[in-house]
Structure 1
Amino acid sequence: TFDLCRILLLDSGHLQEEEAEFANRHKTSKHAPALPLYTRDDAERCLKLFHPVPWQQTWQPAPGLNASLVPSGHMPGASFVRLDNGVRSILFSGDIGRPHDLVLPAPSQVEGADYLVVESTYGDRTHPGTDPLLRLGEVINRTAARHGVVVIPAFAVGRAQSLMYGIALLKAQGVIPDLPVYLNSPMAVSATEVYQKYRSELRLSAAQCEAMVHAARIVHTPEASRQLNTQHGPMVIIAASGMATGGRVVHHLKAFAPDPRNTILFAGFQAGGTRGARMARGEPTVRIFGEEVPVRAEVVMLDDLSAHADAVEILDWLKGFTVLPRTTFITHGEPAAADAMRQRIERELRWACHLPAYRESVTLA
């Protein structure tokens, strides 16, 4: 987690500065001047406060309070967090991984706690039962037949690596042609190196990990990124960010979304209000750098490549608890998804649930 944060926080601070500079140069912000939320220097200072702790080891973040981390399967290092003061305990799920992820092992089973805070990203749905690689291959082949470009807005940690491994498998099996694949995200490149470093935490063998790493050509510079926008398909571009809210993928969307030969492929959850959610909803235009860009390209949602457990997978994980929670707090989901998760837990497990309101405080007695 610390190795990933060294990448994520520094890159994010740098991106904030870049976007503020771009907005000021092109006058696309309502703020004058537009300022970054935080900078790379802020991130550097933040990193000095980290103290890595191994999995399955109890430690005390405060006097009288014991804490432990257990792998959650969402990304390398991702953990369930259990706190216990000897009188009562609480378990935070964070993002829950999937039992049959391409790259990562299944979430660890835990004993439970007196109180539970659980995510609900996909609390109102289940992932399609189809093979995600089969669907990915179909999208790539369909677009390649049109001589188009597949643009994949991908989360730099997790989805980018799963996509690269999936494409490597599809090429090795002869399912898709040996077309050019580009990874256009400095953060995703660095994150992939972390995946290699911690291969023992993955499902992959050494050979499979190498196949993942070499599945795409690395786009190193902004100039090379801009050059991609002048090229023609068939080709695949994987670029951050996953919800198309920033980063290099936004420039690719502006270049390729107006052409019906191309495909915009979303491979993960799209939060309400994001550019990705609007495109996935089928809106005919999307606003990029102050312009309304027409979306004539095919838009595909590939939810089954998501790194979040769906409603059934979350329930299956909860059913393994031996310490049943007195109250389960449902968080991290759109309102409909969170409420659907609440209803499902109450109906199937008969646990008391609560949907916290914004800024609500709860005393655990």
Structure 2
Amino acid sequence: MNGLKIHFWGAAGCVTGSKFLLETTSDRILVDCGMFQGLKHIRQRNWEPWPVPPSEIQRVLITHGHLDHVGMLPRLVRDGFKGPICGTAPSLEVARIVLEDSAKIHEEEAGRAKAEGYSRHEVPLPLYTLEDVRATLALFEPIPKDHWESAGDHLKFRFRFNGHILGACFIELVMADRHIVFSGDVGRPADPLLAPPERPVRADVLFLESTYGNKNHPDIDIESSLQEHINATIREAGVCIIPSFAVERLQTVMYLLWKLVRANRIPNLPIYADSPMGENVLDLFARFPHWHKLPMEDYRQMRRQIKVISEYRDTWKAIDDPRPKIVVAGSGMLSGGRVLTYLSQLLDRPTTRILLVGYQAEGTRGRNLLEGAHELKIFGKYIPVAAKVIQLDSLSAHADQGELLDWVSDISTPPGYIFLVHGEPTAQDALRVKLENEKGWLVRIPGHMETIEINTSLL
């Protein structure tokens, strides 16, 4: 096997929709199958037909369970894919939670659009349904970390720990003694809940994420920053809203808030964690204790300290609670979830503080807030922005530029091909320049739907 085609179906020139098809003369392997998010013209890609019939793909490998890496799996299965979907056990459990939640949201939005008549379509349809998700879950195949698994005549692969979120890994594939590495999303070395990412030592072909390829996260004391903003919220008798990704970021924020209360650095005020999906992910920390570094006794105390909201009626009780309070709610980019209910009621109050603690993709409400939007459209209505908006970059789950350069530092022989993916153009170009100037590596930035052929015998 000398020929390898790589099809860049997603996360090429943008941060979301990760999908990379590897094609040889005998195999087609899809790495990640994520949903596009953000700007409307990018989201519309989710409705486009597959370039290759899904029935002709033998296997899917997922790096981790975030929606932009697994969110299109139910549509792939509905459209004919029947092979195994491989990932680590915690990644597949996270994916299950994320996909079930996503399907419910799509079904509810289609129903709401039909009832309220704000869709251009006479009969709005969901992108996929819970039934599609159930068919997808039947194909999940957990693979132990660090275990080499055969996948066809010329290919084997393994998952290696990568931080970022529970279960996340980078993928090493070997084709005819050529090593192909997919970074997935690289975590941070000082994550409060996860161990530092492992590093690849060989990569003939490297796919490297570049979300923060143009910046380094500020070196600040995140606990002190949270303490400052929460105490300011109390002085103003307001509400501190922390939109959080339900997977990992919500649990990390909960842990940091619990530590502040325990150390008497903030008062014992009401703290609400409002995300049914986040609660389900929180349960996974007890099921997979060897995948994180949170002591189980701390975990149990944290759960007792913070009020976790499951029922939607309790969301309204939290809103009506007149006391100063902290609300941690999904979603992290304000693209959906319970946080929108809070914002619909509290965004127009100057005593509200919104702490953005994760990446805000272009076209999302979170990015609009960061860029100074004076109003947000929520549930079909425009809400004026009077709240204070603060970004806390140091809580990001993505490696920054320096940490990405460190992550590839054990690769002694320059890769024959380096593809920068999962980043916006300015971030990708900045990382490209760094890699070329500091390491002398030749870097490529593929375009959406581009196909590149590689002669592996020349690597």
Instruction: Give the TM-score band, short-chain normalised.
Output: over 0.9
Partner of 1:222: 312
Cα distance between partner residues in 2 of 1:19 and 1:139: 34
Output aligned runs, 1:160-171, within 5 Å: 160-171=250-261
Deviation at 1:323, TM superposition (A): 4.2
Q: Secondary structure at the match of 2:142?
A: coil
What does residue 330 of structure 2 align with? 240
Q: Distance in 2 between matches of 1:29 and 1:117?
A: 38
Q: For residues 275-327 of structure 1, give each alpha carbon's deviation from its aligned partner in whole angstroms, at most 9, with x where no partner exists.
A: 11001111111111221110101111111101000000111111122343112
Number of the residue aligned with 2:176: 86
Name 1:295's counterpart in structure 2.
385
Which residue in the other structure is 1:340 paired with? 430
Residues 134 and 29 of structure 1: CA distance in aligned 2, closer, same or farther (over 3 Å):
farther
Q: Give, as a single letter, the amino acid of the residue that structure 2 aligns with 1:357.
A: G
Match of 1:196 among 264, 286, 294: 286
**3-state DSSP class of the match of 2:327?**
strand
Establish whether residue 31 from structure 1 lines up as the match of residue 113 from structure 2: no
1:274 aligned partner? 364
Q: Percent identity at matched positions? A: 37
Q: Does 1:41 align with 2:131?
A: yes
One of 123, 126, 140 as aligned partner of 1:50? 140
The answer to whether residue 165 in structure 2 is matched with residue 75 in structure 1 is yes
Tell me how far apart the structure 2 counterparts of residues 255 and 179 of structure 1 sit (CA, whole Å): 20
Question: Would you say 1:254 and 2:344 are equivalent positions?
Answer: yes
What is the CA distance between 1:163 and its match in structure 2? 0.2
Does the aligned pair in 2 maintain the 1:152–1:237 contact within 8 Å? Answer: yes
SS in 2 for 1:51: strand
Q: 2:417 aligns with which of 324, 327, 332?
A: 327
Structure 1's 231 and 27: CA in aligned 2 closer, same or farther, altered over 3 A?
Answer: farther
CA, structure 1 residues 82+263, in 2 after alignment: closer, same or farther (shift >3 Å)? same
Which residue pairs with 1:139 in the alignment?
229
Secondary structure at the residue paired with 2:140? coil
Pair 29,353 (structure 1): closer, same or farther in 2 beyond 3 Å: same
Cα gap change, 1:31 to 1:248, in 2 (>3 Å):
farther
Report the alpha carbon displacement of residue 76 of structure 1 after superposing the two structures with TM: 1.5
| Partner residue, 2:197 | 107
Structure 2 equivalent of residue 211 of structure 1:
301
SS in 2 for 1:252: helix
| Contact 1:165-1:212 at 8 Å conserved across structures | yes
Q: Verify: 1:129 aligned to 2:219, yes or no.
A: yes
CA distance in 1, matches of 2:187, 2:224: 21
Equivalent of 2:448 in 344, 358, 363: 358
**Partner residue in 1 for 2:83:** none
Alignment-derived partner of residue 174 in structure 1: 264
* Count of aligned pairs between the two proteins: 365
* Consecutive unaligned residues in structure 1, runs of 5 or more: none
How far apart in 1 are the matches of 2:342 and 2:119? 20
Moved more, 198-207 or 43-52: 198-207
- In structure 2, runs of 5+ residues without a counterpart are 1-90
Q: 1:228 to 1:31 in 2, by over 3 A?
A: farther
Instruction: List, as ranges, runs of 4+ consecutive aligned residues in structure 1 with deviation greater than 4 Å.
Output: none
User: Once the 2 structures are TM-superposed, how far is the Cα of residue 178 of structure 1 from its aligned partner?
Assistant: 0.7
Report SS of the residue matched to 1:358: coil
Q: Is the 8 A contact 1:181 1:235 kept in 2?
A: yes
**Secondary structure of 2:107's partner?**
helix
Residue 401 of structure 2 is aligned to residue 311 of structure 1: yes
Separation in structure 1 between the aligned mates of residue 306 and residue 128 of structure 2, nearest angstrom: 31
> What is the rounded CA distance, in whole Å, between the counterparts of 1:240 and 1:222 in structure 2?
13
In 2, distance between residues paired with 1:110 and 1:93? 9
Does the 8 A contact of 1:28 with 1:289 survive in 2?
Answer: no
| Amino acid across the alignment from 1:138 | E
Q: Does 1:66 align with 2:156?
A: yes
Distance 1:215 1:315, change over 3 A: farther
Residue matched to 1:153: 243
Give the 3 Å change call, closer, same or farther, for CA 296–311 of structure 1 in structure 2: same
State the distance in 2 between where 1:282 and 1:40 align.
37
- Length-normalised TM-score, structure 1: 0.97
Instruction: Choose 189-198 or 17-26, whichever is displaced more.
Output: 17-26
2:111 counterpart of 1:21: yes
CA distance 1:248–1:292, shift in 2 (3 Å): same
TM-score by length of 2: 0.77
Deviations 1:210-250 (A, max 9, x none): 23333420212111112323232411111111100111111
Equivalent of 2:207 in 100, 114, 117: 117
1:27 deviates by: 2.9
- Residue of structure 1 equivalent to 2:101: 11
Q: Deviations over 1:50-104 (max 9, x none)?
A: 1110011101122220101100101111111011112422100010000000101
CA contact (8 A) 1:164 1:215 kept: no
Q: Please provide the CA RMSD for this pair.
A: 1.3
1:57, 1:276 → 2: CA distance? 39
Residue equivalent to 2:10: none
